[in-house]
């Protein structure tokens, strides 16, 4: 058959083909090559292995349990005839058995002895202001008000006329005290007991100090430097850590996020697994209403209404644990070696390197040498270097068959 290779179609089956390399003594490209190698080596050793701990198996979804308890007492003189009252943990903590979310009362508006009946709506409610009965359609609720309109426009005081309503009377007092009534709350303490369990490693840890002293938690206060194992926080310290002043936040209420972060390296002692606490301001206003009901001797139902302002604490727990495992270690190391291999490769070195004519800085070899050109270095060498045209000619060789054989095959 014309054009068939001598020895049949299987002649090249056992042939070995190798690559031809050109060694360039270009200091700028060589320096770039070494910097790339050092960068990849630094990434492998510094970032993957040391910072990210790529040799560890991790558990980033711990099970967390939180128990909270507020302590402290304050006396407040309530306006509106509600009288002097002592507030303790059963009064200012909502709910009394706090968990991830709890509310601390710092201010309040009291409306005492309300009974269901008819009375003028408050003039602070825009929908309640009227000049005649036609402005108060019967049966319509007062928008953002306290009851249902009876159809009458009545005098609230000498300056205002409002719609008469059927509701809890007298209507709610809307005068906010100028200063927080429970100012002593800044010295209240919040006990946060948190336990995390990393199921992958069957490891549990609690943020409280393991001690046999029953008075320890009654006298200690958290300090990140001197007492990090005491989870008893002063309210004022928490507010200030969130970037707010207690007096401002206590007047109209607000919300603070308490973040507990666990980062445990289980290759070290369990005692080194300690939580980090941080606080953030989530909202500058927070309030809600509550009432206590009672019957008088005439079987008339009454209630005392409280509009409570205070600080809402939202506690969130996050964390991760890591421990050495052969599988992630092998994957991280293998990936790094493969990446490093993209920049440098091993081969054979010829001692009889031949200097290319016309350019003393370039030598050629017919076998691979120890330095394998990378894509980045090739781009610099072939496109950005002043001698790029010369490197193009030496790197790429066009193979042309002899003219005699080509004509014979044709």
Distance CA 353, CA 364 (A): 6
- Which two tokens mark 51? 């910072």
What are 235's two structure tokens? Answer: 């309210």
Strands (E), 325-398: 354-355, 362-365
Blockwise average pLDDT, block size 10, the chain, 410 residues: 55 65 71 78 79 86 92 80 78 80 94 94 91 94 93 92 95 90 94 94 92 86 89 96 95 96 93 94 94 92 94 95 89 76 46 38 36 61 75 67 56
pTM above 0.85, yes or no: no
- Rounded to 10 deg, the angle between the 27-42 and 326-341 helix axes is 170
Predicted local confidence at residue 351, as pLDDT: 32
| CB neighbourhood size of 54 (10 A) | 19
Q: Are 3 and 406 in contact (CB under 8 A)?
A: no
Q: Shortest CA distance to 311 belongs to which of 288, 295, 340?
A: 288
3-state helix, strand, coil in the chain (%, to 5): 25, 35, 40
> What is the reported pLDDT for 197?
96
pLDDT reported for residue 28? 77
Assess contact for 125 and 332: CB atoms under 8 A: no
What is the domain class of 63-121+171-323 according to CATH?
mainly beta
Taking the domains of the chain in order of start, what are their residue ranges?
A: 22-51+329-409, 63-121+171-323
């Amino acid at each position: 058959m014309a054009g068939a290779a001598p020895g049949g179609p299987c002649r090249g089956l056992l042939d070995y083909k190798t690559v031809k390399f050109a060694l360039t003594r270009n200091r700028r490209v060589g320096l770039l090559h070494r910097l790339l190698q050092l960068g990849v080596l630094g990434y492998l050793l510094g970032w993957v292995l040391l910072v990210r701990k790529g040799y560890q198996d991790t558990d980033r979804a711990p099970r967390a349990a939180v128990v909270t308890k507020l302590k402290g007492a304050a006396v407040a003189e309530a306006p509106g005839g509600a009288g002097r009252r002592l507030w303790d943990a059963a009064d200012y903590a909502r709910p009394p058995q706090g968990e991830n979310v709890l509310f601390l009362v710092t201010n309040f508006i009291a409306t005492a002895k309300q009974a269901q009946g008819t009375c003028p709506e408050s003039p602070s409610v825009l929908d309640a202001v009227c000049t005649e009965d036609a402005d108060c359609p019967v049966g319509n609720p007062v928008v953002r008000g306290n009851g249902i309109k009876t159809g009458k426009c009545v005098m609230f005081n000498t300056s205002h006329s409002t719609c008469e309503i059927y509701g809890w009377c007298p209507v709610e007092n809307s005068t906010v005290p100028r200063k927080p009534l429970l100012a002593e709350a800044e010295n209240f303490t919040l006990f946060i007991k948190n336990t995390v369990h990393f199921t992958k490693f069957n490891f549990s840890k609690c943020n409280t100090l393991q001690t046999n002293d029953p008075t320890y938690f009654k006298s200690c206060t958290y300090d990140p430097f001197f007492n990090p194992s005491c989870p008893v926080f002063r309210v004022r310290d928490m507010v200030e850590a969130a970037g707010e002043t207690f007096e401002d936040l206590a007047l109209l209420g607000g919300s603070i996020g308490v973040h507990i972060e666990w980062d445990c390296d289980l290759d070290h002692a369990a005692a080194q697994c300690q939580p980090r606490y941080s606080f953030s301001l989530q909202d500058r206003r927070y309030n809600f209403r509550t009432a206590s009901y009672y019957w008088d001797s005439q079987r008339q139902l009454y209630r005392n209404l409280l509009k409570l302002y205070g600080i809402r604490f939202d506690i969130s727990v996050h964390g991760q644990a890591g421990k050495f495992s052969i599988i992630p270690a092998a994957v991280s190391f293998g990936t790094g070696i493969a990446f490093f291999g993209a920049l440098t490769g091993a081969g054979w070195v010829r001692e009889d390197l031949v200097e290319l004519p016309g350019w003393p800085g370039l030598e050629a070899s017919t076998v691979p040498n120890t330095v394998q050109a990378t894509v980045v270095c090739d781009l610099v060498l072939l496109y950005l270097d002043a001698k790029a045209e010369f490197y193009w000619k030496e790197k790429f060789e066009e193979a042309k068959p002899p003219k005699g054989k080509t004509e014979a095959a044709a």
